[in-house]
Structure formats: structure tokens, C-alpha cells
Structure 1
Amino acid sequence: MTAKPDRTLAAAGLICGYALLIGFTDNYVRVIAQDHGLWQFHFTRTMMAFALLGLAVPLLGLRLRPVNPRAVLARSVIHGLAMVIYFGALAFLPVAIVAAGLFTAPIFVLLISRFAYGHAIGPVRILAVGIGFVGVLLVLGPEAISGASAAAILPVVAGALYALGNVATREWCPDESAETLVAGFFGMLGLLGLLGMIVLAVAPLAAPLGPDGFLLRGWVAPNWPFLFWTFVQAAGSLLGVGMMIRAYQITDAGRASVIEYVILPASAFWSWLLWREVLAPMAVGGMVLIVVAGCMIALRARSVEPASTSA
């Protein structure tokens, strides 16, 4: 199969759009988590996403049939497991440590791309990964690098799986439509959500009130805020995840993964705009480093991409 040209600048635009959408919708997970559970959220969001896809397929002429069903299934399982481990770790680890673990993904992307697929990784990309990760740690705060324990390996495992899924997007599924991969991703999360609800129905756990019970809470009669914000999540995630998937299809995964660091400042921007949450100066400095890392990748790509493929 002939290698497809990289279109890093277009991918950067798609990832920035994804970050703005996901940063907005994820800020309302706190509303969803007030009375409902993670597993119900994943299952309900998947049902809503499939309903929206069902409407969009005939209207937009979308293609959901996979070219390589096994590759799509494998990618969906990998990304689904990454998200389950990530949210599961939130039950007993500080958010900062969990997020820092997940954002090791660009490091794993470079390692997988180099040693599994033989892709060259230049010094600019390696430096950008390092700068971006330091920026992530500054945004998350000192607790992200203190208090680590054996359990803290779980978010790193989630980061490795997330990285493998992102590499798989281009290496295993280059000819799949973005909507096919989105459907596979949501379908796997919906299945895992259903399994989680079944387990909690058979062996219910005492869930604390409010967001602290998000992971342990089974089925709860849905209220209107849950239905509304889950629908917003479904619609925003369909578009946002589709943009992210397309970005990984049109550029090298190592480049895309570094640019994806932008989701942290995007989320912080929405947190400030919606909830007036103000960041510490150290976190602002971290965001500057994240932007620098993304710009390094984008500017380097612009200097090496042929004019015909830079759109």
C-alpha cells in the first residue's frame, strides 16, 4: 500500500477544533456526574450518538461499513479499554496524576511509531514532546509528580493504550471513513457502559452522593439535565472525535499526538469562561509551553511538506 502524504497543518486545524468542542462538552461532565453514573452516561451517550448517526448517514451519504472490520474492532477495543482504565483510575487516584499519566501518550506514540513501524523521529519532534509534557505537568500542578504509587501505573497504561489506538488509526485503518471509526469507538464505549451497569445491578456498591459517586453508581432514573447534557456530549463528541480521527488519518501520529496537548488549555479556557475558574501562574506558563510544542510541530511540518499536500 502506497504511503499517504502528511497534511500536518490541516490535521492541526482539525485537532484544535476537536479540542475546543471536547473542552466545552467535558466541562459539563460535572453536571452529569451530580446524580448519574459513568456507565449509564457511556451507554446513554452511545444510544444518542447512534441515533444522530442514523439520521446523518442518509442525509450526508456517510459510509459506515468498514473496509477492514477486524482492524476497526481492534482499534475500538484498544481505545475503549484506555478510557475505562482512565476513568477507573479516577476512583482512587488524584485527577492530576491520572491526567498526567494519560498525557504520556505522545511519548508512547513516538516509541511505537519508531520501533514497531520504523518511522523516523527527528530531534524537533522529540524536543516538542518533552516541552509539551513539561507544560502538561505545570498545568496539572505539583501533585502530578508527587505521591506516585504502584497504582499510578494504571493511567500510564491508559496512555499507552490510547497511543496504540492513535497509531492504529493511520497504520491499521487508513482507508476507513472517519464516521466508521467514530461508530466503532462509541459502540465499544456503549457496550462497556452496558456491562458496567449489569455488574452494578448484580453486585451494587454504595455510591457517595454527588460527583464522588460517578464511577460506582449504576442505573438511575434519568432527569432532564442528564438527558440534555448527555445529548450535547453525544453531538459534540461525534463531531469532535470525528475531527480528531481524521487528523490522525492525514498526518503522522507522532505529530498529531503532540498537537493534541492543546486540549488542556482549551479545557481551561472553557472552565474560566463557564465557571470563572482561574488558573495559577504556573499553569499559565505550562499552557505557553504546550502552545510552543504544537507550533514547533506545525512550523516544522510547513517547512518540509510539499506545497501540494499542505492544504
Structure 2
Amino acid sequence: MPPVTQDRTLAATGLICGYAMLIGFTDNYVRVIAQEHGLWQFHFTRTLMAMALLGLAVPLLGMRLRPVNALAVVARSLIHGLAMVIYFGALAFLPVAIVAAGLFTAPIFVLLISRFAYGHAIGPVRILAVAVGFVGVILVLGPEAMSGASAAAILPVLAGALYALGNVATREWCPKESAETLVAGFFGMLGLFGAIGMVALTILPLVSPSGPDGFLMRGYVAPTMPFLWWTFVQAAGSLLGVGMMIRAYQITDAGRASVMEYVILPASAFWSWVLWGEMLMPMAVVGMVLIAAAGSMIALRAKAGEPVAPQA
């Protein structure tokens, strides 16, 4: 029997909470970036900045960027990159609530992939935690998340499935990779997609609306200082936050980690309240309680000594 991979769910919980607070803060400023610039330029510029920061950190902190399995790293980066492109692309013609609800089906797909592709036991507690967490997501997003279903609404669910596969791949395909290697691969792939999008929209420009509505349809725009500053904040915050998330998936089961990721919704809502004064409806508060309960169920179950399935 293959050796059991050490599982540190409580440490992973702390890493994911830190990731959620960082990403919740930086993502709130995408609305500022979207006022005059485009998604593709944002991804490309953020990648350049993130790679520059990573290049400075590698020699100072003794990090390792050389992959152990380059093919696995590229495959994982491609899967996660496609998930994010589909997610943001769906925002062009679907309400944010539907898109977000689709992406947060990821924990369900994580459990299905872990069970049927890798034979991991998932148990009733984790199944219940996914159900509770997803109900919490729907309450936070509001009842409109379940309305307006159409063929196009399948796209966010596809993004959720790809995101789930990428999360499983973090532990199953890349257990020996350093977090910085996987971060570099993720940003590199998004930067490549950003470059392709900018070139395509430069050759075949679209008439884009002003403000955030034109975010997905803009090609290159001369960068302003607010764009450069908030993109840099995004690059630095995402670099650290995604690194924490990746490390969490390496030290615990993907099914547990994916349920804990629900915490990013209340974290984003917290920063929306602090930064913009946006208040939550009572139903959303109930949803956050359910999300916290789902994460607690996973963490407490691990503390109680839930057995860890052998890794392939």
C-alpha cells in the first residue's frame, strides 16, 4: 500500500482563511480597474508584476521555481487558467449571482472526482458540509442566483468543474512541487491568456461600453496610475494569497480544502462593507453562518481523527 500522505487540515484552514481575507480585499478593487481598462490587459499586466515580485523573492527567500514534473504543472495551470477565463467570460452575459453560484459548485465536483477518479472515501460529514456550504452560498448571493437558468448558465458550472479538477490536481499531480512553482505556473498561464486576448481585441476591436460594463471587451488602453497601482496591489496580494491556497491544498485533502474556500464569500462581503459601506441583507448573514458551519464541520472532523485516504 502506498504511504499515507500527512494531512494537516487545521493548518490548511488557517492558510485558506488568510487567502480569503487577502483575495477578498484585492478583488474589491477590480471595480476600480474595470472603469477604464480591460480584463485581458489586467491579467497580462498583473502577471508581469507578479513574476517580477516572484523573481525578487526567489533568491532572497531561497525559493525553488524549477518544477519536479513540468507536464503536471503546465496541465494544472492550463486547467485553472481556463476555469478563470470561462468564469470571467460568463460575466459578460450572465448575472454575477448565477456565475458565482456556478463556480461554487466546485466542492461538489471535488468530492465526485476524489471519490470516482481516485477512490478516496468522502464520508457523510463532508457530504453534509458541502450541502450546508452550498446552501449558504445561495443565501449570500440571493434568490436571483437560482433564477434565469439557461444553456449559457452551464458555463459557470463548467468553470466550477475545471476549478475543482485543478484543485484535485494540486494534491494528486503536484504533491512535490513548491507552492511558488505552482503560483508561477498559474500566473504565467493567465498572463498568456491575457496577451492572446489583448492581441485579438487589438486586431479585431469591439465597441465596448464605458465603465465596468466594457471590462471584457477592451483591448489595450494606455495605462493610468490608478490602474498600475491597483493592479500592483492585486499582483502582490494574489501572489501571497494564491500561494497560501495552493499550500493548503498540498497539506490536506482537496475535498476538505474546497469546502473551506466557501469562506471567501463572507471575507469579500466584509471588505465590501469596510471599503464601500455595502451592507448585507439578513438572509446573507444567515448564509455566512452556514458557510462558517460547513468549514467548522470539516476542521472539527479532522481534529477528531478522521482517517486520511491513501494517496495514489
TM-score by length of 1: 0.98
Write the letter of the residue equivalent to 2:139.
L
2:99 is paired with a residue of what secondary structure?
helix
- Write the distance in 2 (CA, Å) between the matches of 1:126 and 1:4: 22
Alpha carbons 1:6, 1:252 under 8 Å: kept: yes
- Quote the residue 2:42 is aligned against: 41
2:149 is paired with a residue of what secondary structure?
coil
Alpha-carbon distance, 1:207 to partner:
0.6
Cα deviation, 1:58-83, whole Å, max 9, x if unaligned, reads: 10000000000000000000000000
- Quote the residue 1:144 is aligned against: 145
In the TM superposition, 1:32-181 aligns within 5 A as: 32-181=33-182
Alpha carbons 1:6, 1:305 under 8 Å: kept: no
Cα deviation, 1:112-151, whole Å, max 9, x if unaligned, reads: 0000000001100000000000000000001100111010
Cα deviation, 1:252-299, whole Å, max 9, x if unaligned, reads: 000000000000000000000000000111111100000000000000
2:4 is paired with a residue of what secondary structure?
coil
- Quote the residue 2:291 is aligned against: 290
In the TM superposition, 1:254-273 aligns within 5 A as: 254-273=255-274
Alpha carbons 1:128, 1:296 under 8 Å: kept: yes
- Write the distance in 1 (CA, Å) between the matches of 2:255 and 2:306: 15
- Quote the residue 2:301 is aligned against: 300
- Write the distance in 2 (CA, Å) between the matches of 1:260 and 1:81: 19
- Quote the residue 1:197 is aligned against: 198
Alpha carbons 1:131, 1:293 under 8 Å: kept: yes
Cα deviation, 1:87-130, whole Å, max 9, x if unaligned, reads: 00000000000000000000000000000000001100000000
- Write the distance in 2 (CA, Å) between the matches of 1:139 and 1:206: 34
Alpha-carbon distance, 1:198 to partner:
0.6
- Write the distance in 1 (CA, Å) between the matches of 2:207 and 2:106: 33
Alpha-carbon distance, 1:185 to partner:
0.0
Alpha carbons 1:7, 1:305 under 8 Å: kept: no
Identity of aligned residues (%): 84
Write the letter of the residue equivalent to 2:165.
L
- Write the distance in 2 (CA, Å) between the matches of 1:264 and 1:3: 32
- Write the distance in 2 (CA, Å) between the matches of 1:136 and 1:10: 24
Alpha-carbon distance, 1:5 to partner:
1.5
Alpha-carbon distance, 1:305 to partner:
5.8
Cα deviation, 1:157-187, whole Å, max 9, x if unaligned, reads: 0000000000000000000000000000000
- Write the distance in 2 (CA, Å) between the matches of 1:206 and 1:4: 52
* Shift in CA distance, 60/305, structure 1 to aligned 2, threshold 3 Å: farther
Alpha carbons 1:15, 1:259 under 8 Å: kept: yes
- Write the distance in 2 (CA, Å) between the matches of 1:47 and 1:5: 35
1:174 is paired with a residue of what secondary structure?
coil
- Write the distance in 2 (CA, Å) between the matches of 1:238 and 1:197: 22
- Residue 30 in structure 1 maps to residue 26 in structure 2: no
TM-score by length of 2: 0.97
Write the letter of the residue equivalent to 1:211.
P
1:225 is paired with a residue of what secondary structure?
helix
2:304 is paired with a residue of what secondary structure?
helix
Cα deviation, 1:202-248, whole Å, max 9, x if unaligned, reads: 11001100000000011000000000000000000000000000000
Alpha-carbon distance, 1:4 to partner:
1.2
* Structure 2: tracts of 5 or more residues without a match: 308-312
Alpha carbons 1:139, 1:283 under 8 Å: kept: yes
Write the letter of the residue equivalent to 1:124.
V
Alpha carbons 1:136, 1:286 under 8 Å: kept: yes
Write the letter of the residue equivalent to 1:37.
G
Alpha-carbon distance, 1:3 to partner:
3.1
Write the letter of the residue equivalent to 2:196.
L
Write the letter of the residue equivalent to 1:117.
Y
- Write the distance in 2 (CA, Å) between the matches of 1:217 and 1:287: 35
1:147 is paired with a residue of what secondary structure?
coil
The size of the alignment, in residue pairs, is: 306
Alpha carbons 1:76, 1:188 under 8 Å: kept: yes
Write the letter of the residue equivalent to 2:183.
V
